[in-house]
Amino acid sequence: MNKRILFFVTIVTITLANCSIVYRVTGKTLNSYAQDHLVPFYLASDDLDAICTGGTALGPLVASFERTGASVELATMVAQMGAGMCAEKQAQEAELLYIAAVRKGKGEEALDNQARQIRYHGIAAKRYGDAHNRFLQYFGEWKGKCPSISEDEELYYLVGLSSGLLAILHDFASQGYAGITREVPSVVAGGSKCLDSKKWWGTPLALEAVVWLSVPGATPEGKDANKQMEEAVKQGDQAGVRMSRAFQIQAAAGKGDVEKIKKLILEHSKVISQIPAKKEYLFLEAFAENLSRHESDKIWMKETGHRGPINFSSFPGKKKNNKEEDDLLKDL
């Protein structure tokens, strides 16, 4: 009887030990598969909805392999970025309905949609914040010096910085619901210097400039945030990855200068039709376009009560008096 128990215990122990080895190996395999294939596949897709839903669904599964001792920070970071975008889209939707309710003079509707908007900003801030924490776990806390970053890791480094910036913006919009550390802007501005801006389509320069433009007093002496942003946009346009434009429009939206926002959105729309997007990074293009489209829709909703064109190529306004047209119509 005792022998049987001993045998049973031995079998269970071996099985359990094997299971944990199998899990860890699976985690490692999953992580390297994600880095080698899933993330590049994500990045080449322009279907934001699919990516964000995938991130929301797969994020917890990928992150659960941490329990087996596997290192899955980078894969989890990308999944959480996708998940953050889902919440961000919901916040945008609620914001448009809130603007519509204000236009219609419906107080309760406005208050309710505003409450929904704040909730979704909070969820987005938590998810982006989680992505940023994975970035810090992997690359180490920012101590003012660049970590050693391999060529394969540079893109993840850029995504990690961007997630921090998005986390803090959404946290502000949710009354600090996610409790994102106020150190993030200085981490983003400092860390952006660790990457070659030209190689990454001007995004590092844009990240630094957007921090300067958003935090009063953060611009170092002798630096011009707007000029740097323009340089970043130029680099992005040439490369066909226009993340810098999204950050530029976000910064302008922060300043509340509607005419400038309109001008930048129209420029973005125009450049998309002129310079083809880089195929490997269609996802980042789609993300930037979505931000511009949302800013455009906000203006349309406020001025007309409905959304604007999908390619954000025009704004409501009076038709200019056209002399050529007058000549055509003369004496008819």
Partner 1 sequence: MKKFLILSVIILGTWMSVGVGAAETVDRSMCVFDPSGAHGDVFKAAQRYQAQALTWGIRLDLKAYTDEVVANSDFKAGKCNMAFLTSLRVRSYVHESGSIEAIGALPSYDLLRKTIEALSNPKVRELNTDGDYETMAMFPGGAVYLLLRDKNLKDIKDLAGRKIATLTYDQAATTMVDIVGASMVPAEIATFAGIFNNGRADACYSPAIGIKPLELMKGISPNGGIVRFPIGQLTFQIVARHKDFAEGFGNTSRAWAATQFDAMLSLTKKAEQEIPAKFWIEVPKDLQKNYFEKFREVRIRLRDKKVYHPTILKLMKRVRCSADKEAAECADNLE
Q: Does 255 bind partner 1 (CB under 8 A)?
A: yes
Go through 296-329 and write b for each residue having 16 or more CB atoms within 10 A of its CB, e for each that does not. Answer: bbbbbbeeeeebbeeebeebeeeeeeeeeeeeee
Residue with smaller CB distance to partner 1, 38 or 211: 211
> Is there binding between residue 183 and partner 1 (CB under 8 A)?
yes
Number of residues that bind partner 1 (CB under 8 A): 34
Options 2, 5, 217, 324; binder of partner 1; rule CB under 8 A: 217
User: Which of 3, 105, 317, 327 is in the footprint of partner 1 by CB under 8 A?
Assistant: 105
User: Which pairs with CB-CB distance under 8 Å and at least 24 residues apart come from 118-121?
Assistant: 118/173, 118/174, 118/175, 118/177, 119/174, 120/87, 120/88, 120/90, 120/91, 120/94, 121/87, 121/91, 121/170, 121/171, 121/173, 121/174, 121/177
Q: Is 317 in the site for partner 1 (CB under 8 A)?
A: no
- Distance in Å, CB of 180 to partner 1, minimum: 9
| Residue 102 within binding range of partner 1, rule CB under 8 A | yes
Q: For partner 1, what does the binding mask look like between residues 130 and 169, x meaning CB under 8 A?
A: ---------------------------------------x
Helices 243-255, 282-304: inter-axial angle, 10-degree rounding: 30
Burial, 102: exposed, middle or buried (Cβ in 10 Å; 0-12, 13-18, 19+)? middle
Task: Let me know: does 297 contact 308? Beta carbons within 8 Å.
Answer: yes
> Of 53, 64, 68, 181, which lies in the binding site for partner 1, with binding defined by CB under 8 A?
181
Q: Reduced to 3 states, what is the DSSP secondary structure of residue 141?
A: coil
- Which one of residues 4, 5, 148, 256 is an interface residue with partner 1 (CB under 8 A)? 256
> Which one of 31-39, 84-92, 135-143, 217-225 is the stretch in contact with partner 1 (CB under 8 A)?
217-225
Give DSSP secondary structure letters for 165-184: HHHHHHHHHTTTTT---TTH
The amino acid at residue 43 is L
Q: Please, what is the minimum distance in Å from the beta carbon of residue 217 to partner 1?
A: 5
If one asks whether residue 56 binds partner 1 (CB under 8 A), the answer comes out as no
Q: Which range binds partner 1 by CB under 8 A, 30-38, 122-130, 182-190, 232-240?
A: 182-190
> Cβ closer to partner 1: 96 or 169?
169
Does residue number 196 form part of the binding site for partner 1 (CB under 8 A)?
no
**Residue closest to 171 by CA, chosen among 243, 239, 121, 220:** 121
In whole angstroms, how close is the CB of 318 to partner 1 at the nearest point?
A: 19
CA angle centred on 247, ends 281 and 197, rounded to 5°: 60
Q: Which residues bind partner 1 (CB under 8 A)?
A: 98, 101-102, 105-108, 110-111, 114, 169, 172-173, 175-176, 179, 181-183, 185-186, 214-221, 250, 253-256
